[in-house]
Amino acid sequence: MVDFLTSTIGLSGWLAWTLAATVSAVLILNVIAGGALVFIWAERKVSARIQDRLGPTRTGGRFGWLQSLADGIKLLAKEDLMPEGADGMLFRLAPYVSFCASFCAFIALPFAFDVVGQRLNVAVFFVVAVLGLEVFGVILAGYASASKWSLFGAMREAAQVVSYEVPLGMCVVVPVMLAGSMDMVTIAEKQAGWFWNWYVFHDPFTFVIFWVYVTCAVASVNRAPFDLAEAESELVAGFHTEYSGLRWSYFFMAEYGSMFLVSAMAAVLFLGGWNGPIPVATLLGFSEGTGDTAPYLIRLLGLANLVGKASLGVIIMMWIRWTLPRLRIDQVMTTCLKYCTPIAAVMFAGAMLWQIGLPGGLIPGAGRPGGEIREGWLEGPGGRAAAPPAADESRDVARVAP
Amino acid sequence: MMPPPLALSSLLALSVTEPVSVAHYLVVGAILFTAGVACMATKRNALGVLMGIELVLNGANVNFVAFASPYLAADGARSLGLDGQAIALFVILLAAAEAAVALAITLNFYNNHATVDVDRADDLKG
Amino acid sequence: MANAIEDDPRIIEFDVRTDEMLVNMGPQHPSTHGVLRLVLRTDGEIVSEVEPHIGYLHRCAEKIGENLTHRQWIPYTDRMDYLAAMNMNLGWSLAVEKLMKYEVSEKARHLRVLIAELGRIASHLVGMGAYGLDLGTFSPFLYAFREREKILDLFEEACGARLTYSYITIGGLTADLPPGWLQRCEAFLDQFEPIIQEYHTLLTTNAIFVKRTAGVGVLSRDMAIEYGCSGPVLRGSGVDQDLRRDGEAIYTAMYDGYAFEVAVQKDGHYPRDHEYPAVPAGTVLGDCWHRFFVRMLEVVQSMDLVRQSIDRYSACKGTIGEPLKLAEKMPAGDAYLETECPKGQMGFYLVSDGSAKPWRVRARSSSFSNLAVTPELCRGCLIADVPAVVGSLDIVMGEIDR
Amino acid sequence: MTPTIPMADLVAGGLLPLAAINFHTLFFLLFAAIACGAAVAVVAADNVVRMALFLVLSLAATAGLFFLAGAEFVGAMQLMIYVGGTLVLLVFGVMLTAQAPFVTMKSAGGDRLLAGFVGVALLAMLVLAGLSVPAWRQPASGTVPEPTATPLGMALVGVRVDQPPAGQPVDAVRSGYLLPFEIVSVHLLVVLVGAAYLARAKRRKTPRAIEVAASVEPPEAVAEHAAIGRTRAAASVLTGEPS
């Protein structure tokens, strides 16, 4: 994008950089804010259909598709109340901490080949780490609200998220190991082709660990049946009991942003990323090199694929939420420590052994050899020349559009 | 290119037009380190003391990473390379281990004294 | 009780100095079924003591009764257990009829059974749905209300009201059924029967539901009797008592000739008159799951009774007869009668001085006694168990506070 | 990481003052300001929760500095481990100091003065030391760093791919970090076991219900004991000690 701005339009360098960075930041911001609007509307429609209701029908004409926007405007107009005993600074800051964490994690998420805010060499770790920061806002909110229900919610969330990061980290490491890279773009690229190239179908262990990941992801974003932090029948509304208006809506934007993020992570790590189940582009003879429009088309297709997969994940989370009762805190911890963690550990070891024994994956010839380790690295002096993985791509600050 | 004199370099530090040098990072590390030491010295809350320790270790880490960075190294100078980053990693790991033990000690102290005020940990005073 | 806490495997005792905290659950709280206020003394998530505070819905109904004629007080009984107003009407009417030694016509008797059992289904549906809500699942609540609405439609057709009916009255009922009602009622039963299986899938046999309710809030047989519990709460503890079979003659005469099995676990199993899901492992007789399950069984049992009463009612010739006059003079004396209401044994006591107004009116409510066991059941449980226990008692504050 | 912008291009753009901005330096200054400001705020704050918030800010900004210096993996680990660790600190902070008197524990004025004096002296020494080597003050060469995650991982398992000894085959064991890696792993395990042992769950000797019953005191006594906590009061009632 920077190249385009400088060479085609002739902007000076700093202007091009600033513009490119702003465009990607605004785009990501819109993905979260717009995504939250769409998903809240979808949640209402999905829950309504599950429950034999219609949901919103009138706002914005058919299907009530403007309902969340109307709600947003209502929230803007509402008074931001703060309890008397609250710690003012922390109370005001908490929603933004949550939101910023959710926002920052999107920076490293690839939406399609080359459509990524900042291609990071350690993207997977970065996303998991930054996503863990979201809980910080929740704890601050719970503490600063000066309400016992809020404090309960915050403590539950802290215990839950800190615990679930362990199995989540283990699940995330498996695709990293298979791809030999923590770069999400590389991981997704390695799964190109037919759907049996996806890491979820790589071997039995990855198939199991995918479901462990799903469980842990639902728990780490606090969705039912793990929504203890805001359990309305026990804790009134948990950590956001005392929040109203725009500050409250920031928590929700963060929650829906995180839901989309973990779903997109699942798509990238296990479900082929932006590669569809059938390599349509390849079958039609499109490739990066053909013509001027082909790269755009391929990226658009990839974008649709990834957003579709991630949205499907979000919808499934909604489906679960409107079906299952809530677990109790001790049961949530048991699920994590007695089931998810050991299973993830065993599956991790299994996937590792499989990688040694049958590096090709379950279907012979389907998988691609993983790893960035060059042969030359192990050979000594000459290895240096062949050593560095291509560093060209990862240097750009903004690469939202090709 | 000759290195600028000391007085000038401190002014240049705040200039946004010049590329940063290792010294920039060293100053940041020094500030973090000093803040950590001050934190350890003044806080009565055991958790505050722990936070001070984390700051000190972090300050040291900044130095390691700065020396390890080929980007920051001046022309022709050899950076510490991977060694610096590896040591920084080990520091982070050990800091985590240290925090776990320190928290356990704090917890036991709290159990026995119903406070986390380190000034009251004076049972061994003669 | 100290030993029970020590031996409870669910309680993890950390050797951390902790402070206890008093938390007000209610009177404005999403899961206290109205305006119940529970003061919890908690140590973190563990509840050491629960104290129910009542009286937020007190309306002096009994005192009002001394200033109205017997029939004029019927609408006030509607507002006691407003979820089963038909059964409240029936209880008061029978008590007055007992004082007068009045006997209603055969057709009115069968119609009363029909209406009372439909009312029991409606009440248990609310209890079941709200219990799901207490455990954090929203959808069963709406599924239950969907079916309850159909019962309310039937009631509306019969008496014109949807919540406070005053339909069953002293000396019979205010009106006979409109034409075609019985067919619509049978159509409802046919349509409702398979839906009970859905409830069993969503709640009764759901793994999370069983985890949340099995072994929680165990009410022993002796304690249930000591505290004067009644209804499903008593039967859930394995006490074989149902006033429709064991009550006073004037009440049991109403069910004369009706075949039904009391929903209670006898000799290790529940009645086998229908297909029911098996009792899951981990449940203890007297826990929340059994109380819930008894209610589910009673829904089926009431459906049987409704079908029987439809046959008998349509076999009766003639009219249901006229109810007594609004200001009918009663003989001097007193009478007390308990009936089996959905929530338990509802007793009405009245003293008459020979005038048209009772000299003294007293209602003995089942929810009041059932609520009284809450402190015993919630001692040493987790916060999340409190709504689970209170919900399983299925209380109605209108009846407790009167 | 931002490549430096050629001066000539900027002059041609006619926007010299703005155009001369080195973005790497700009972001460095931004993150450095946050890191240092938050670190000072940790010292200044009295409330333990606020302290934790500032600490997280400082650590996160430091992670940003690591990213700027090309140490992506270290930066990500910093975010993950340090911030996660601080989170636990924060939780403990809230739990252990929930009683009002302990949330803010003010340091004595003299202590602060002394700490300030020593701190300034230390800072001056460190800064002077840092600036004393001319080579360190030379502006960055701007060599684009290579991604270090994979080489770092290789180094940790004992294979150095970045600095092979000239003219010799790699001596994996000597040049790698396999041994330190193993030591640290075992160390972590030992520490985990030790910490779990120190803070292990122990059954109470006195049944909780008795303690609860004992803690029911007249209001004045409760108010008096509020500063040292309810349980302590309850314990003293049980043991008969004056509290």
Which amino acid belongs to residue D219? Answer: P
Q: How many residues does chain B have?
A: 126
Same domain, D178 and D218: no
Closest-approach residue (CA) in chain C for B106: C16
User: Do the chains contact at C137 and A326, CB–CB below 8 Å?
Assistant: yes
Closest-approach residue (CA) in chain D for B33: D123
Residue D111 lies in a domain: no
Residue A398 lies in a domain: no
Question: Following CA atoms B66, B68, B71, B75 in sequence, which dihedral angle do they give, to the nearest 10 degrees?
Answer: 100
Q: Is B15 on the interface with C (CB under 8 A)?
A: no
Cβ-based contacts of B107 with chain C (< 8 Å) = 16
Q: Which of C5, C12, C13 sits opposite D209 (nearest CB)?
A: C5
Same domain, D243 and D188: no
pLDDT tens for each residue of A19-50: 777 887 788 787 777 888 888 888 888 888 88
C123 confidence band (pLDDT: 50, 70, 90): very high
Minimal C-alpha gap between D1 and chain C (Å): 48
The structure tokens listed for C82 are 């407003």
Q: Which of B42, B77, B94 sits opposite D135 (nearest CB)?
A: B77
Q: Is D100 on the interface with C (CB under 8 A)?
A: no
First-residue to last-residue Cα distance in chain A = 6
Q: For residues A97 and D52, is the Cβ–Cβ distance under 8 A?
A: no
Same domain, D153 and D231: no
Question: For chain D, what percentages of helix, strand and coil (3-state, to nearest 5) are there?
Answer: 70, 0, 30
pLDDT tens for each residue of D150-188: 777 777 776 666 655 455 555 544 567 778 888 888 988
- A170-180 mean pLDDT: 86
Residue A223 lies in a domain: yes
DSSP H or E run through D187: helix D178-198
Give the Å distances, CA to CA, from C376 to C10, C292, C385.
17, 19, 13
Those residues of chain C whose CB sits closer than 8 Å to some CB in chain A are 10, 12, 21, 23, 29-31, 44-45, 132-139, 142-143, 146, 202-203, 206, 208-209, 211-212, 382-387
Q: Is C18 on the interface with D (CB under 8 A)?
A: yes
CA C51 to chain centre: 22
pLDDT at res. D162: 61
- C124-144 mean pLDDT: 89
Residue A381 has pLDDT above 50, yes or no: no
Assign A308 to helix, strand or coil: helix
Q: Which of D99, D201, D210 sits opposite C2 (nearest CB)?
A: D210
Distance CA C243, CA C263 (A): 12
Q: For residues A181 and A359, is the Cβ–Cβ distance under 8 A?
A: no
Interface of A with D in 152-171 (CB under 8 A): 154-155, 158-159, 162, 165
pLDDT tens for each residue of A224-270: 788 877 777 777 777 888 888 888 888 888 888 888 889 999 988 88
Q: Is D13 on the interface with A (CB under 8 A)?
A: yes
Cβ-based contacts of B108 with chain D (< 8 Å) = 198-199
User: Do the chains contact at A330 and C10, CB–CB below 8 Å?
Assistant: yes
Q: Which of D47, D88, D144 sits opposite A395 (nearest CB)?
A: D144
Q: For residues A35 and A260, is the Cβ–Cβ distance under 8 A?
A: yes
- A328-352 mean pLDDT: 87
Q: Would you tell me the crossing angle of helices A245-269 and A88-107 to the nearest 10 degrees?
A: 30
Residue A388 lies in a domain: no
Same domain, D196 and D213: no
Among A192, A209, A206, smallest CA distance to A272 is for A192
**How many inter-chain contacts (A to C, CB under 8 Å) are there?**
84
Closest-approach residue (CA) in chain A for C383: A234
Q: Which has more confidence, A361 or C151?
A: C151
Architecture of the domain spanning C61-401: Orthogonal Bundle (1.10)
Distance CA D42, CA D58 (A): 9
pLDDT tens for each residue of C210-222: 988 888 888 888 8
- D128-134 mean pLDDT: 77
Q: For residues C157 and C120, is the Cβ–Cβ distance under 8 A?
A: no
For residue D172, with 0-12 CB atoms within 10 Å meaning exposed, 13-18 middle and 19 or more buried, which class applies? middle
Q: Which of D98, D201, D215 sits opposite C12 (nearest CB)?
A: D201
Q: Would you tell me the crossing angle of helices B22-42 and D23-44 to the nearest 10 degrees?
A: 10
Same domain, A6 and A144: no
Quote the mean pLDDT of chain A. Answer: 77
For residue D186, with 0-12 CB atoms within 10 Å meaning exposed, 13-18 middle and 19 or more buried, which class applies? exposed
User: Do the chains contact at C45 and A329, CB–CB below 8 Å?
Assistant: yes
pLDDT at res. B74: 62
- C42-47 mean pLDDT: 79
Same domain, D98 and D178: no
Give the Å distances, CA to CA, from C331 to A232, C68, C249, D169.
53, 16, 20, 115
D20 confidence band (pLDDT: 50, 70, 90): low
pLDDT at res. C187: 92
User: Do the chains contact at D202 and C13, CB–CB below 8 Å?
Assistant: yes
Q: Which has more confidence, C292 or A146?
A: C292
pLDDT at res. A289: 60
Among C88, C110, C94, smallest CA distance to C250 is for C94
Among B89, B94, B126, B121, smallest CA distance to B108 is for B121
Q: Which of D10, D23, D80 sits opposite A125 (nearest CB)?
A: D80
Distance CA A238, CA A154 (A): 7
User: Do the chains contact at A50 and C139, CB–CB below 8 Å?
Assistant: yes
Among B54, B118, A96, A146, smallest CA distance to D38 is for B54
Distance CA D96, CA A152 (A): 14
Residue A286 has pLDDT above 80, yes or no: no
The DSSP result for chain B, as a single string, is -PPPPHHHHHHHTT-SSSPP-HHHHHHHHHHHHHHHHHHHHH--BHHHHHHHHHHHHHHHHHHHHHHH-TTTSPTTPPP-THHHHHHHHHHHHHHHHHHHHHHHHHHHHHHHHS--BGGG--TT--
Distance CA C375, CA C389 (A): 10
User: Do the chains contact at B23 and D119, CB–CB below 8 Å?
Assistant: no
The DSSP result for A108-139, as a single string, is T-EEETTEESS--TTHHHHHHHHHHHHHHHHH
Strands C333-341, C172-173: pairing kind: unpaired
pLDDT at res. B73: 67
pLDDT tens for each residue of B25-74: 888 888 899 889 888 888 878 888 888 888 899 999 988 888 877 776 66
C153 confidence band (pLDDT: 50, 70, 90): very high
Q: Which of A160, A234, A235, A335 to mutate to test the interface with C (most CBs of C within 10 A)?
A: A234
Minimal C-alpha gap between C146 and chain A (Å): 8
- C116-140 mean pLDDT: 89
- C258-279 mean pLDDT: 81
Distance CA A185, CA A182 (A): 9
Dihedral sign computed on CA atoms, order A198, A201, A202, A207: positive
Same domain, D11 and D37: yes
Same domain, A251 and A110: yes
Number of domains in chain D: 3
The neighbour count for residue C228, using CB atoms within 10 Å, is: 16
Same domain, D95 and D183: no
Minimal C-alpha gap between B108 and chain D (Å): 7
User: Do the chains contact at C211 and A50, CB–CB below 8 Å?
Assistant: no
Same domain, D24 and D59: yes
Same domain, D158 and D78: no
pLDDT tens for each residue of C170-194: 888 888 888 889 999 999 999 998 8
Q: Which of A13, A143, A379 sits opposite D10 (nearest CB)?
A: A13
> Which position has the token pair 């330190």?
D180
Quote the mean pLDDT of chain D. Answer: 67
Distance CA A107, CA A116 (A): 7
Same domain, D23 and D57: yes
pLDDT tens for each residue of A82-127: 888 777 788 888 888 888 888 888 888 888 777 777 777 788 888 8
**Domain span including residue D192:** 146-163+171-202
Minimal C-alpha gap between D129 and chain A (Å): 33
- D202-221 mean pLDDT: 45
Q: Which of A120, A121, A377 sits opposite D161 (nearest CB)?
A: A377
- C378-382 mean pLDDT: 83
Q: Which of A47, A50, A225 sits opposite C208 (nearest CB)?
A: A225
Distance CA C77, CA A242 (A): 39
Question: Following CA atoms A219, A221, A222, A226 in sequence, which dihedral angle do they give, to the nearest 10 degrees?
Answer: -20
Q: For residues C341 and C319, is the Cβ–Cβ distance under 8 A?
A: no
User: Do the chains contact at B43 and D107, CB–CB below 8 Å?
Assistant: yes
User: Do the chains contact at A165 and D84, CB–CB below 8 Å?
Assistant: yes
Q: Within 13 Å, how many C-alpha atoms sit on residue B79's CB side? A: 31
Q: Which domains does chain B have, with CATH numbers?
A: 19-115 (1.10.287.3510)
pLDDT at res. C124: 92
Residue A382 has pLDDT above 60, yes or no: no
Q: Of A225-229, C124-128, C246-250, D135-139, which gets the smallest average pLDDT?
A: D135-139
Distance CA C312, CA A235 (A): 50
Residue D84 has pLDDT above 90, yes or no: no
> Which position has the token pair 């003219």?
D167
Q: For residues D67 and D75, is the Cβ–Cβ distance under 8 A?
A: yes
The structure tokens listed for C376 are 């015993």
Q: Which of C142, C208, C387 sits opposite A52 (nearest CB)?
A: C142
Write the ipTM. 0.76
Distance CA C123, CA C366 (A): 14
Among C340, C336, C364, C329, smallest CA distance to C350 is for C336
Distance CA C75, CA C93 (A): 11
**Domain span including residue A198:** 82-366
> Buried (b) or exposed (e) across C106-130, using 16+ Cβ within 10 A?
bbbbbbbbbbbbbbbbbbbbbbbbb
Same domain, A175 and A206: yes
D143 confidence band (pLDDT: 50, 70, 90): low
Q: Which residues contact A192 (CB under 8 A, 6 or more apart)?
A: A272, A275, A279
Among A231, A118, A217, A196, smallest CA distance to A365 is for A196
Dihedral sign computed on CA atoms, order C143, C147, C153, C158: negative
Distance CA A239, CA A255 (A): 13
Residue that finishes a domain, picked among A31, A61, A77 = A77
The structure tokens listed for D24 are 């790497």
Which amino acid belongs to residue B94? Answer: L
Q: Is B60 on the interface with D (CB under 8 A)?
A: no
Residue A375 lies in a domain: no
Cβ-based contacts of A17 with chain D (< 8 Å) = 2, 23
- C108-132 mean pLDDT: 91
Q: What residue segments make up the domains of chain C, in order of their start?
A: 61-401
Residue A324 lies in a domain: yes
Q: Which residues contact C179 (CB under 8 A, 6 or more apart)?
A: none
Touch test A–B: 3 Cβ pairs or more under 8 Å: no
Among D75, D67, D69, D4, smallest CA distance to B69 is for D69
Cβ-based contacts of B116 with chain C (< 8 Å) = none
Same domain, D13 and D98: yes
Cβ-based contacts of B117 with chain C (< 8 Å) = none
Among C362, C354, C372, C337, smallest CA distance to C234 is for C372
With pLDDT > 70 as the criterion, what percentage of chain D qualifies? Answer: 51
pLDDT at res. C151: 92
Residue that finishes a domain, picked among A50, A77, A104 = A77
Cβ-based contacts of B69 with chain D (< 8 Å) = 69-71, 145
Minimal C-alpha gap between B110 and chain C (Å): 7
Distance CA D98, CA D103 (A): 6
Minimal C-alpha gap between D164 and chain A (Å): 6
Residue D91 lies in a domain: yes
Residue A383 has pLDDT above 60, yes or no: no
Distance CA A25, CA B27 (A): 31
Q: Which of D95, D147, D164 sits opposite A383 (nearest CB)?
A: D164
Residue C394 has pLDDT above 90, yes or no: no
C122 confidence band (pLDDT: 50, 70, 90): very high
Number of domains in chain A: 2
C121 confidence band (pLDDT: 50, 70, 90): very high
Residue A375 has pLDDT above 50, yes or no: no
User: Do the chains contact at A331 and C386, CB–CB below 8 Å?
Assistant: no
Q: Which has more confidence, D95 or D240?
A: D95
Q: Is D104 on the interface with A (CB under 8 A)?
A: no
Q: For residues A26 and D35, is the Cβ–Cβ distance under 8 A?
A: no
**How many inter-chain contacts (C to D, CB under 8 Å) are there?**
45
User: Do the chains contact at D4 and B89, CB–CB below 8 Å?
Assistant: no
Interface of D with A in 202-241 (CB under 8 A): none
pLDDT at res. C125: 92
